[in-house]
Amino acid sequence: MRGPRALAVVAVLLLAAGSTAVTEGVPAAAPPADRPCALRAAPGVTMSEGFGGADGRQFARATGEVRALTLLVDFPDKHAPYSAAERYSEFFPAVRHWFYRASYGKLRYVSTPVLRYIRMPKPFQSYGIGRGYGWRTHTAMMRDLLRVADRRIDFSGYDLVNVLVTPNAGPPAEQAVLSVTWTGASAATTDDGTSLDRVSLVYGHDQSGARVLSHENGHAFGLPDLYSVEDFGHTDTLAGQWDSMSLDWGLQGDLFAWHKWRLGWLDDWQVVCVRDPGARSVHLTPVEVPGGRKAAVIPLGRTRAYVVEARATRGNDSEACREGVLVYQVRTDVDSGHGPVTVEDAHPRTTACEYSSATFNALNDAPFSSGGRFTDRARGLTVEVLGRDPDDEGWTVRITTSRPLWDGP
């Protein structure tokens, strides 16, 4: 969980060099006229929250049939303690089901496993794998993997590769989380010319169970980390447990509507774009169930928007702590791991569901319920929760803006 779990190679180098988290001076493109709320990815930002980031090819398509090759590896000094089939069953079919629910059936995840452990040619210790390990280590591992696996396994025709590492390699996940995804460059090339350019590796046993792989694959689809890389404790004030790209062991394990829109799981009509001054009512059905309007987006500029959505204890959020209306801000100019999404807390002085996590519970009671009101005084914006419809469990909100918040695109 911690560390730069998933970064394009270029981004790793930039972060190592201490790049700023907010890219200034590079203008983001205007959104297209027919999708004025679909803010564009800001140039130079690692896994930007905008649409169309990194020329699109770096990331896997997240709709239709997504094919994953899933391999299991162990090492001469770390023999697998139980069968490959058992290790595989820790993640599948759970991950497939998770994506099916999250995408309303639009992402059909097909994992092709090789149900035996591939013994890596060198000891685990020799790779020097630690938290946030680097690109050189990754390429060394992938080349070694191909040395022993390329002859017998056909790597061609897959959208991504999963590597499930024997769980006894490395420290327990509560000490250091090593799981990582690499996109954006090829770590190694097979004999028939297939590039290993989207690889998710899972180590140890996370408290998130199978969701650690949903999180890692989320990076392969272009989603950023929402937790704080530099100050992990600060995560509590960013997105908390409301999205699996934040804390993947959270109670609220689904994804934000913004992410679902970006991934093509929501149609444009399901997102209300609020641009003109005035008051309007919007009925929002819960993000966790298919159908209906899912979000209101209020752009504040080319790189910033408020998003309003409804959350319920359904589907991937069946354990959710509180139901209600979430308000959050998305920024397309903030790097992965530096807070591209910040949730507004309806109850800033309290926490909830403390049992779920020792220290990350401040936002568990973030949703607004009937009568609740979010106000951004400086911008003249108010979001009021008018009530809930018992039939579809959706919430009606009134969004009022006293003046134009953005005259673009």
Residues binding Zn ion: number (CB under 5 A): 3
- Closer by beta carbon to Zn ion, 211 or else 388: 211
Q: Which stretch binds Zn ion (CB under 5 A): 6-14, 34-42, 126-134, 315-323?
A: 6-14
How many whole angstroms separate alpha carbon 121 and alpha carbon 138? 15
Which residue lies nearer to Zn ion by CB, 98 or 306? 98
Pick the piece of the chain touching Zn ion (CB under 5 A) from 1-9, 14-22, 58-66, 231-239: 1-9
Choices 104-112, 159-167, 224-232, 373-381 (CB under 5 A): range interacting with Zn ion: 224-232
Contacts (CB under 5 A) with Zn ion, residues 103-122: none
| Residue with nearest beta carbon to Zn ion | 5
**Out of 3, 4, 5, 50, the residue judged to bind Zn ion by CB under 5 A:** 5
For the chain, the residue count is 409
Cβ atoms of 199 and 160 within 8 Å: the answer is yes
6 contacts Zn ion (rule: CB under 5 A):
yes
The end-to-end CA distance of the chain, in Å, is: 36
CB of 216 to Zn ion, least distance (A): 7
Q: Is 186 exposed, middle or buried (0-12, 13-18, 19+ CB in 10 A)?
A: middle
Q: Which is nearer to Zn ion, 98 or 117 (CB)?
A: 98
Closest CB to Zn ion among residues 178, 310: 178
For the CB of residue 46, give the shortest distance to Zn ion in the complex, in Å.
Answer: 11
Nearest alpha-carbon partner for 139 in 218, 84, 204, 201: 201
Residue 149 CB, nearest distance to Zn ion (Å)? 25
Site for Zn ion contains 101 (CB under 5 A): no
How far apart are alpha carbons 388 and 409 in whole angstroms?
33
Alpha helices by DSSP H, listed for 162-268, are 211-220, 257-262
Number of H helices, E strands in the chain: 7, 15
Q: Considering the complex, what minimum distance in angstroms separates the CB of residue 4 from Zn ion?
A: 8
In the sheet with 160-165, reading across from the earlier edge strand, the strands are: 6-8, 180-183, 198-202, 160-165, 64-74, 107-119
Which position has the token pair 């679902």? 260
Is the Cβ of residue 48 or residue 285 nearer to Zn ion in the bound state?
Answer: 48
For residue 131, the Cα-to-chain-centroid distance in whole angstroms is: 19
User: Nearer to Zn ion by C-beta: 260 or 294?
Assistant: 260
What are 368's strand-pairing partners?
325
CB of 204 to Zn ion, least distance (A): 15
Q: In this chain, which stretch among 39-47, 62-70, 219-227, 324-332 interacts with Zn ion, using CB under 5 A?
A: 219-227
Residue with tokens 């919430």: 395
Element (H, E) at 126: helix 124-127
Contact window for Zn ion (CB under 5 A) among 2-10, 283-291, 313-321, 362-370: 2-10
Q: Give least dist CB 278 to Zn ion, A.
A: 39
Least separation in angstroms between CB 93 and Zn ion: 22
Choose between 103 and 336: whose C-beta lies nearer to Zn ion: 336
In the bound state with Zn ion, the residue whose beta carbon lies nearer, of 6 and 66, is 6
The least CB distance from residue 184 to Zn ion, in Å, is 14
Interacting span for Zn ion (CB under 5 A) from 4-12, 31-39, 70-78, 309-317: 4-12
Which residue lies nearer to Zn ion by CB, 6 or 238? 6
Least gap, CB of 197 to Zn ion (angstroms) = 17
Q: SS3 letters for 256-305?
A: CHHHHHHCCCCCHHHEEECCCCEEEEEEECCCCCCCCCCEEEEEEECCEE
225 part of the interface to Zn ion, by CB under 5 A: yes
Cβ proximity of 272 and 398 under 8 Å: no
Sign of CA dihedral 216, 109, 81, 115: negative
DSSP, res 45: -
Q: How far is the CB of 7 from Zn ion (least distance, A)?
A: 9
Work out whether 307 is an interface residue with Zn ion (CB under 5 A).
no
Question: Whose Cβ is closer to Zn ion: residue 177's or residue 272's?
Answer: 177
Q: Does 243 bind Zn ion (CB under 5 A)?
A: no
Distance CA 258, CA 50 (A): 10
Between residues 5 and 198, which has the closer beta carbon with respect to Zn ion? 5
Task: Tell me the C-alpha distance between 103 and 96, whole Å.
Answer: 11
Least gap, CB of 262 to Zn ion (angstroms) = 16
C-beta of residue 192 within 8 angstroms of C-beta of residue 229: no
Binding site for Zn ion (CB under 5 A): 5-6, 225
